[in-house]
Amino acid sequence: MRLQLDQRVVMNHYRAGDLLRIPGLGPCKLRWSRKPLGVPKMVTLRRDAAGRYWVSMAIEEALPAPPASSQTVGIDLGTHHLAVLSTGEALDNPRHGNRYAERLHRLQRRLARQCPGSHRGAVTKQRIARLHARIADCRREHLHCLTTRRIRDNQTICLEDLHKRGMSASARGTPDRPGKRVRQKAGLNRSLLDAAFGAFARQLEYKAAWYGRTLIKVDRFYPSSKTCSACGLRRDELRLDVRHWRCPKCGAEHDRDHNAACNIEREGLRQLQHPEDTGEVRAFGGEGACPVAVSARIAQAPSLGREPG
């Protein structure tokens, strides 16, 4: 449900602080998530599946400039940790879906026992929709906190361009060639979708464009996990269950995720320094990009100024 409202009526009620009278709904109390500073050009009332009403406004405002920074960071995404940074910081995965899984399963079983089209079935559907909306709100809020901090603290962010749809594809196969470990792959797919890698990358993209930061997406086929971040040796094979490994050439001990984040940062900075050799890598950034600082960052050392491992 969408309804166009008169922007002058909304602003008058906003200044007066009383109820907003909406045609067909009557007086509605407003709760502002953020008070607008300018005059809205368009106001839209929307109702979501959970029965909540949202008033969206299109307002032109000047964004505050973030503090200047010359730091760079590489990010490796995963399910055990939502993200591991090249600085060594690991961001925990809150697993919002697992947090409400039992309550959601109980409501869905109740809905399966109720008669289709009944009043109690409609009430249960509404409760399920509200629970899904709560999970989505928790996930969105957590990702906004993480991405805003990364944009505020770093000038250049290097991220791996993952194929989210291919990673979360089913392993069921076909009748002629049935898949293997279908239930295990289904559990992994739930964890991948609950982590929301696509939303994480999308928020970094538009926030980097807003605040003049540079976001570089490294090609998904770049062997970030199999390459030693200390000497550059590339292993022929590295199984997914190997989380720690030692480089046979230099003897450096590596954590798989941290090593991948360091390699993603180095490859992203190399692509930024040599844009003619990007391949499938796409770079996003605003006018505030600082290639001089990035070049100085590359020229420090092969290990980017950090101890290996």
Predicted confidence (pLDDT) per residue in 250-273, tens digit: 888 999 999 999 999 999 998 888
In degrees to the nearest 10, what's the CA dihedral of 285, 286, 288, 294? Answer: 20
Given 160, 194, 205, 265, the catalytic residue: 160
Given 76, 194, 205, 265, the catalytic residue: 76
Active site annotation includes 61:
no
- Binned at pLDDT 50, 70 and 90, residue 309 comes out as very low
pLDDT in tens, 76-126: 999 889 999 999 999 999 999 999 999 999 999 999 999 999 999 999 999
Active site annotation includes 153:
no
* pTM for the whole structure: 0.77
Residue among 280, 285, 275 at smallest CA distance from 72? 285
Given 89, 141, 161, 257, the catalytic residue: 257
Active site annotation includes 255:
no
Structure tokens at 245: 């490994």
Residue among 194, 196, 207, 225 at smallest CA distance from 76? 225
- Give the separation between CA 82 and CA 97, rounded to whole angstroms: 14
